[in-house]
A and B are shown apart, each in its own frame.
Chain A
Amino acid sequence: MSVTPEEVRQIARLAELSVDEEHLPDLAAQMSRIVDYIAQLSQVSGGENAKPFIPGPDAIRLRADVVAPQPLEGKLSDFAPAFREGFFLVPKLGAFEGAEEDEE
């Protein structure tokens, strides 16, 4: 299999998706099928020399630096799953939870 269950486990962790252990082999088989299919691209050459294709405008149109926020209908608490005193809430982060910075 081109994609092993262990790889699926790692990818799922990167993608923050819970996957039941018992589904891992099936998922690995499906992913292998897809990966094997898309791997046929490696057989084609010549793309390195083709003019790179970027859809849309050729260059960014920059925006003037003015305070002009887009309005929001209603309040954040209307759609926030957990909201208190103006803050979004998540379970308290532990010491090793991938924090880029410890704030305050």
Chain B
Amino acid sequence: MTEVEALASAKATATRLGKAKRLNALLTPTTVVRKSLLAQAKEAHPSGVLYGMPVALKDNICTLEFPTTCGSKLLEAYQSPYEATVVTKLKDAGALIAGKANLDEFAMGSSTEHSGFGRVLNPVDRTRVPGGSSGGSAALVGAGAVPAALGSETGGSVRQPAAFCGVVGIKPTYGRVSRYGLVAFGSSLDQIGVLGRSVHDAARVLSVISGRDPRDSTCENRDPLRLPTVPERLEGFVIGIPKEYFPVDLNPGVRRACDRAIRALKDLGAAVRDVSLPHTPYAIPTYYVIAPAEASSNLARFDGVRYGNRADGVTTLAELYRQTRGTGFGPEVQRRILVGTYVLSSGYYDAYYKKAQQMRALLAQDFRNVFDRGVDLIFTPTTPTTAFKAGERTKDPVSMYLADCFTAPANLTGVPAMSLPIGRVKGLPVGGQFIGQPFLEDDMIEAAYALERAIDGTEEA
């Protein structure tokens, strides 16, 4: 690409972002993004592998160019004085940062209905949710405004919205991508992931942002992920189908789409085998102990002392804390902080937090047992349903939590996982999920490449 082409890409992106405005997926005003994209196109490194590629960033990733709000009123105008490692890597590769994407506040949610700045609409059906918490990122890619976007995962927040919006979403192995500059929600679960309109777009961005970072002690000391080649066939791959992800009452349309995908995998030469991950039903309760617990601590820094919107008229320290946090955080965030504080408090720690960590160990053992018996990859539906209607699950928090039941196990156990479109049900996208072995993302991506080529992901199942 030449600079002229990069500038053209910048302009075209700004136009597409403007057209997608009604989705409320981008928090950065279009005029601001446009100006920035043009300036970036002039400065971008022409030899970078992503030169001229516009990438939107979930707004919990710190940038110097735009505010970082985390979808919260508390951080409405917060300008980070440093940028996340992944942003530096993207820029070094010549990518253009195409603004900040809307999200559930502090990444807490599965529908992007809990943003402080309004909900995001699903580009396929605007009465439905795009999923969450990276709903803005998924919607922008789904709407064709950008070819790729960064999101973040704690319980499935990249894969689930990818499935709902009909795009590809990859969560790397925990420790594959630096978290430095990702505003922490559940530190032992968080990973930055990539949404892309194709496996290739998502994978090449993941390749760029991955790799060691001495500023993140939980990031493994490894080279960046090498992009695998697209395989012709999948001979030699052993793919496990876990029965716990195909319950009797699984949505029939989702089941049909999965069945078709599994047939395609067989046709490509993969061996398909039934397996079991027996502790799967406990993943969500486990997640909803550990994630809120870590969040309650991670969000303690939002106290109005050093940054963020301080509540007006406070005359005591207690008022400063309680009003700033009580009015700045939305109800879902407050609920999770309260639950997290509760499960860590003395008297409850053993029964909840310690118990959840034990369950986490059992879930990890489930995956080890399957992978140790010669299975390379696991294939499942990404979500139990297609995108639900806006407002359908906001009354009962637990019903919202259940949207993550197929995605959360990978976050809890650190393994890589990805979703790609495998069909539609009544016009709504269905995602198929590969779960891979730690640090063997390339197997997963290869299988996804092959499947993507073999089936039409937009075909009604």
Q: Do chains A and B touch in the complex (CB under 8 A)?
A: yes
A72 and B82 within 8 A (CB): yes
- Which residue of B is nearest A51, CB measured? B361
A31 touches which of B300, B323, B339 (Cβ 8 Å): B339
Say yes or no for A86: interface residue by CB 8 A criterion. Answer: no
- Which residue of A is nearest B329, CB measured? A17
- Which residue of B is nearest A74, CB measured? B81
Least Cβ–Cβ distance between B222 and chain A, in angstroms: 10
Considering only CB atoms and an 8 Å cut-off, how many residues of chain A contact the other chain? 55
User: Which one of B13-21, B212-220, B268-276, B440-448 contacts A?
Assistant: B212-220
Chain A interface main SS type: loop
B335 touches which of A14, A31, A52, A61 (Cβ 8 Å): A31
Q: Which residues of B contact A71 (CB under 8 A)?
A: 82
Q: Bound complex: CA of A61 vs CA of B217, how far in Å? A: 7
Least Cβ–Cβ distance between A88 and chain B, in angstroms: 6
B345 and A55 within 8 A (CB): no
B338 and A11 within 8 A (CB): yes
Say yes or no for B160: interface residue by CB 8 A criterion. Answer: no
Q: Bound complex: CA of A50 vs CA of B282, how far in Å? A: 15
Task: Mark out the residues of chain B between 279 and 298 whose CB falls within 8 Å of any chain A CB in the assembled complex.
Answer: 279, 282, 285-286, 288-289, 296
- Which residue of A is nearest B398, CB measured? A37
Say yes or no for A21: interface residue by CB 8 A criterion. Answer: no
Q: Bound complex: CA of A99 vs CA of B289, how far in Å? A: 30
B81 touches which of A3, A40, A78 (Cβ 8 Å): A78
Q: Which residues of A contact B307 (CB under 8 A)?
A: 79-81
Q: Which residues of A contact B285 (CB under 8 A)?
A: 37-41
Task: Mark out the residues of chain A between 18 and 38 whose CB falls within 8 Å of any chain B CB in the assembled complex.
Answer: 18-19, 27, 30-31, 33-35, 37-38
How many A-B pairs have beta carbons closer than 8 Å: the answer is 180
Given A72-B82, A73-B82, A74-B79, A18 contacting B322 (CB threshold 8 A): yes
Q: Bound complex: CA of A37 vs CA of B320, how far in Å? A: 33
Q: Bound complex: CA of A17 vs CA of B332, how far in Å? A: 13
Task: Mark out the residues of chain B between 308 and 345 whose CB falls within 8 Å of any chain A CB in the assembled complex.
Answer: 308-310, 314-323, 325-327, 329, 334-335, 337-339, 341-343, 345
Say yes or no for B304: interface residue by CB 8 A criterion. Answer: yes
Chain B interface main SS type: helix
Task: Determine which residue in B82, B310, B338, B401 has the highest number of CB atoms from chain A within 10 A of its CB, and name it.
Answer: B338
Say yes or no for A63: interface residue by CB 8 A criterion. Answer: yes
- Which residue of A is nearest B344, CB measured? A14
Q: Which residues of A contact B352 (CB under 8 A)?
A: 38-39, 41
B81 and A79 within 8 A (CB): yes
A sample of 10 cross-chain residue pairs with beta-carbon separation below 8 angstroms, ordered by A number, consists of: A14-B345, A15-B338, A18-B325, A37-B285, A38-B352, A41-B289, A42-B351, A44-B279, A53-B357, A55-B175
Interface residues of A (CB under 8 A from B): 3, 7-8, 11-12, 14-19, 27, 30-31, 33-35, 37-42, 44, 46-48, 50-57, 60-61, 63, 70-74, 76, 78-82, 88, 90-91, 93-94, 97
Which 6 residue pairs are nearest across A and B when measured between Cβ atoms?
Answer: A47-B358, A18-B326, A50-B361, A18-B322, A81-B310, A16-B321
